[in-house]
């Protein structure tokens, strides 16, 4: 066999193994015996966050399976569920029934499903959560242009490669920003998107990301630990800060509290393992840990050539430890992080160089991670508190040398950007009654940076220093919002968000408004409007001017390079980028898997930083 075809064969076998596994998971019989599995989970009130006893949970896709009810702790266990794709329904008096479809039941692992139910109050129809019909956001304060998505949906979406970001690129108003998995929402810069995990902002969870980017070639997010999460494309509620175009609001699931389970995963993107279970038998605390390593890197270590140039190397880790208590609330420790690098050495035969990059040695790296401690305390059936503190960090580096014909190296580009942050998020949620909910909170971000960059300038034929800054700054946010059900299917959501950015000493006051009107025949009108702001990557605030034109604040180094003097040309007085938006939407659910939705979107951007250099 010609060895150059071996990598393609191995990839094909990997894809085939995934397909065979799916076929086995969807089979429901072995000989004459039917293989079944258990669906377990919990049901809570979406508004109060309290567990709901007495909820009927049944398999709507198979009436032969006996229904069950939740206990006093809101926990249920539905046994004897046939393998394959199934639909689950939860119903209770005074609440909207919830239906979750397309659940994949497999023989090797119990399925854990956590449900949130909303009081019937102002709604006309039952809630049907269907991967094809579209999903309502989990956040009850969401005003519009949002939807939830499940891990099952991510895994089944064509071309998503088990990556929520690639799946989102197929949504209306969202496109891919090139090969680096960037997400462009309604024409905005990919940097305008925010990633959140368990209710707090995190680093860019993608391998091979660049400074300030929101995407990367391969996602760090492992769908084996992901729970149902939200994605927004505008019209954000007052609690969302530091975002213009959209928000990925990710949630991790809780590990199995009854028994320990282990899973090995092998696929195109990586090989890894997932471990979950209770810390002690009979306890309510649980752990969930997942690790993954690059498949291509493993093949290279095995001596198999998988690429003519550099092989991407990466690994990532996700975890969620949950510790419920009887009186002090629930504590959880969560995190996500990854290491990635890519190197390429130019071939030492200049006659084969066809373009400039062929004669360069390159090395890129991106290491990032976020970890947080979350405390949820439910005081009573009207009031709860949610507090989170997190630590995040990312290190982005690249080094490029250009070779001469005698293979001597000349520095072309060298960057090292290190950012760390400590964040706090505190939320108070109070229910006046079933129709009026008040939510208020604060966000604190303490930011540290160490930014250094060199770049070759062809105009002066020398390497120039484009940035050299080290220090700290911060951002402080506060918000308040009120959701009121006014009757006749009309819901009003009003709020205000304020921000203070320490670096530029600037304030921003951002009013926000949302209206939803439910109409007969499964129709709905929505309007969301407001003002928003977003910090640019900190390197923008310290960018130096075009040093190709020597003048005040520049100096020629002994080695022939050019450097700005400290403090020259800094942009630290720049305020956050701001946006005024309005979204009007109409949707109709025809039933089953067919839904029509259209939106009209308006945006006015201002206080946007631009370069005076026409070549940028």
Nearest Cα to Cα of residue 234 among 147, 138, 132, 150: 147
From CA 559, how far away is CA 202, in angstroms rounded? 40
- Tokens in use for 8? 């393609």
Residue of higher predicted confidence among 539 and 25: 539
In a domain, 92, yes or no: yes
| SS3 annotation, 348-417 | CCHHHCCCHHHHEEEEEEEEEEEEEEEEEEECCCCEEEEEEEEEEEEEEEEEEEEECCCCCEEEEEEEEE
Question: 350: which DSSP letter?
Answer: G
In a domain, 611, yes or no: no
Question: 134: which DSSP letter?
Answer: B
pLDDT at position 369 is 97
Most confidently modeled range among 32-36, 138-142, 178-182, 598-602: 598-602
DSSP readout, 81-123? EESEEEEEEEE-TTB--EEEEEEEEBTTB-EEEEEEE-BSTT-
Residue 521, C-beta contacts closer than 8 angstroms, at least 6 positions apart? 588
| 595 alpha-carbon distance from chain centroid | 25
Provide the residue count of the chain.
616
From CA 414, how far away is CA 397, in angstroms rounded? 8
In a domain, 234, yes or no: yes
The residue-averaged pLDDT of 365-373 equals 97
Type and span of the H or E element at 25: helix 6-26
pLDDT at position 368 is 97
pLDDT at position 571 is 58
In a domain, 613, yes or no: no
User: What residues pair up with 286 in beta bridges, in sequence order?
Assistant: 278, 322
From CA 584, how far away is CA 235, in angstroms rounded? 9
pLDDT at position 592 is 64
From CA 421, how far away is CA 236, in angstroms rounded? 24
In the block, residue with structure tokens 């300030």 = 212
526-585, pLDDT tens digit by residue? Answer: 999 999 999 999 888 887 654 333 333 333 333 333 334 344 445 557 899 999 999 999
Residue of higher predicted confidence among 129 and 543: 543
Label residue 613 by pLDDT band (50, 70, 90). Answer: low
pLDDT at 21 over 70: no
86-120, pLDDT tens digit by residue? Answer: 889 999 998 988 888 878 888 878 888 889 888 87
| SS3 annotation, 55-81 | CEEEECCCCCCCCEECCCCCEEEEEEE
In a domain, 614, yes or no: no
Contact 290, 319 (CB under 8 A): yes
- Tokens in use for 97? 């029934």
The residue-averaged pLDDT of 416-439 equals 95
Residue 49, C-beta contacts closer than 8 angstroms, at least 6 positions apart? 376, 378, 384, 429
Overall domain count for the chain: 1
- Tokens in use for 61? 């896709």
Label residue 470 by pLDDT band (50, 70, 90). Answer: very high
User: What residues pair up with 111 in beta bridges, in sequence order?
Assistant: 39
In a domain, 420, yes or no: yes
78-89, pLDDT tens digit by residue? Answer: 999 999 888 899
The residue-averaged pLDDT of 439-444 equals 98
From CA 542, how far away is CA 419, in angstroms rounded? 14
pTM of the model: 0.85
Label residue 31 by pLDDT band (50, 70, 90). Answer: low
Nearest Cα to Cα of residue 410 among 418, 420, 401: 401
Type and span of the H or E element at 19: helix 6-26
Label residue 176 by pLDDT band (50, 70, 90). Answer: confident
| Helix locations, 93-229, DSSP H | 151-156, 164-168
pLDDT at position 28 is 47
In a domain, 302, yes or no: yes
Nearest Cα to Cα of residue 28 among 87, 103, 89, 106: 106
Would you say the C-alpha torsion 608, 423, 340, 319 has a positive or negative sign?
negative
CATH number of 186's domain = 2.40.170
In the block, residue with structure tokens 């072309």 = 412
From CA 7, how far away is CA 514, in angstroms rounded? 52
Label residue 206 by pLDDT band (50, 70, 90). Answer: very high
From CA 170, how far away is CA 220, in angstroms rounded? 20
The two beta strands, 360-378 and 383-403, are antiparallel
Nearest Cα to Cα of residue 567 among 587, 606, 541: 541
288-311, pLDDT tens digit by residue? Answer: 999 999 988 888 888 887 776 778
- How confident is the prediction for the chain on average, in pLDDT? 84
The residue-averaged pLDDT of 139-157 equals 84
In a domain, 615, yes or no: no
385-397 burial: b if 16+ Cβ within 10 Å, else e: bbbbbbebbbbbb
In terms of Cβ atoms closer than 10 Å to its own Cβ (0-12, 13-18, 19+), residue 404 is exposed
| Structural domain containing residue 245 | 3-606
pLDDT at position 69 is 94
């Amino acid at each position: 066999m010609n060895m150059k075809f071996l990598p393609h064969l191995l990839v094909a076998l990997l894809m085939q193994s995934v397909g065979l596994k799916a076929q086995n998971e969807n089979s429901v019989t072995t000989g004459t015996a039917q293989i079944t599995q258990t669906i377990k989970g919990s049901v809570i009130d979406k508004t109060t966050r309290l567990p709901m006893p007495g909820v009927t949970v049944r398999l709507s896709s198979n009436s032969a399976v006996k229904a069950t009810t939740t206990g006093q702790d809101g926990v249920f266990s539905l046994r004897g569920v046939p393998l394959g794709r199934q639909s689950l329904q939860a119903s209770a008096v005074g609440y909207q029934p919830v239906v979750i479809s397309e659940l994949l039941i497999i023989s090797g692992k119990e399925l854990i499903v956590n449900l949130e139910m909303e009081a019937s109050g102002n709604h006309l129809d039952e809630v049907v959560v269907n991967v094809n019909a579209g999903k309502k956001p989990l956040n009850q304060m969401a005003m519009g242009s949002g939807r939830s998505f499940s891990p099952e949906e991510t895994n089944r979406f064509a071309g998503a490669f088990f990556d929520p970001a690639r799946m989102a690129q197929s949504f209306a108003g969202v496109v891919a920003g090139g090969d680096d998995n960037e997400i462009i929402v309604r024409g905005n810069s990919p940097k305008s998107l925010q990633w959140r995990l368990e209710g707090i902002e995190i680093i860019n969870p993608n391998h091979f990301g660049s400074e300030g980017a929101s995407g990367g070639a391969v996602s760090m997010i492992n769908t084996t630990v992901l729970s149902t999460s939200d994605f927004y494309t505008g019209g954000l509620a007052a609690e969302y800060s530091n975002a213009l175009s959209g928000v990925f609001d990710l949630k991790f699931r809780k590990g199995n509290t009854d028994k320990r389970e282990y899973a090995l995963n092998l696929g195109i993107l990586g090989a890894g393992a997932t471990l979950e279970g209770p810390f002690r038998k009979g306890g309510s605390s649980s752990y969930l840990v997942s690790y993954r390593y690059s498949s291509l890197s493993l093949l290279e270590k095995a001596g198999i050539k998988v690429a003519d140039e550099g092989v991407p190397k990466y690994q990532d880790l996700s975890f969620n430890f949950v510790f419920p208590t009887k009186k002090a609330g629930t504590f959880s420790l969560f995190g996500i992080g990854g290491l990635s690098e890519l190197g390429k050495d130019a071939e030492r035969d200049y006659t084969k160089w066809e373009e400039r990059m062929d004669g360069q040695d390159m090395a890129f790296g991106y290491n990032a991670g976020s970890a947080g401690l979350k405390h949820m305390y439910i005081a009573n059936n009207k009031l709860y508190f949610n507090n989170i503190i997190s630590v995040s960090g990312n290190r982005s580096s690249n080094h490029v040398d250009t070779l001469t014909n005698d293979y001597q190296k000349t520095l072309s580009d060298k960057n090292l950007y290190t950012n760390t942050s400590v964040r706090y998020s505190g939320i108070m949620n109070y229910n006046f009654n079933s129709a009026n909910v008040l939510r208020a909170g604060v966000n604190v971000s303490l930011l540290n940076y160490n930014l250094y960059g060199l770049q070759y300038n062809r105009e002066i034929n020398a390497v120039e220093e484009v940035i050299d800054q080290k220090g700290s700054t911060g951002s402080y946010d506060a918000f308040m919002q009120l959701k009121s059900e006014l009757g006749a299917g009309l819901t009003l959501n009003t709020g205000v968000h304020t921000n203070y950015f320490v670096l530029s000493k600037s304030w921003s006051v951002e009013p926000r408004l949302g209206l939803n009107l439910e109409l007969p025949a499964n129709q709905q009108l929505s309007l969301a409007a407001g003002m928003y702001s977003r910090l640019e990557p900190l390197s923008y605030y310290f960018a130096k001017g075009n040093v190709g034109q020597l003048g005040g604040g520049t100096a020629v180094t002994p080695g022939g390079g050019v450097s700005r003097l400290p403090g020259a040309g800094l942009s630290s007085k720049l305020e956050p980028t701001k946006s005024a938006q309005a979204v009007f939407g109409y949707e109709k659910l025809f039933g089953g898997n067919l839904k029509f939705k259209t939106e009209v979107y308006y945006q006015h951007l201002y206080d946007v930083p631009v370069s005076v250099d026409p070549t940028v």
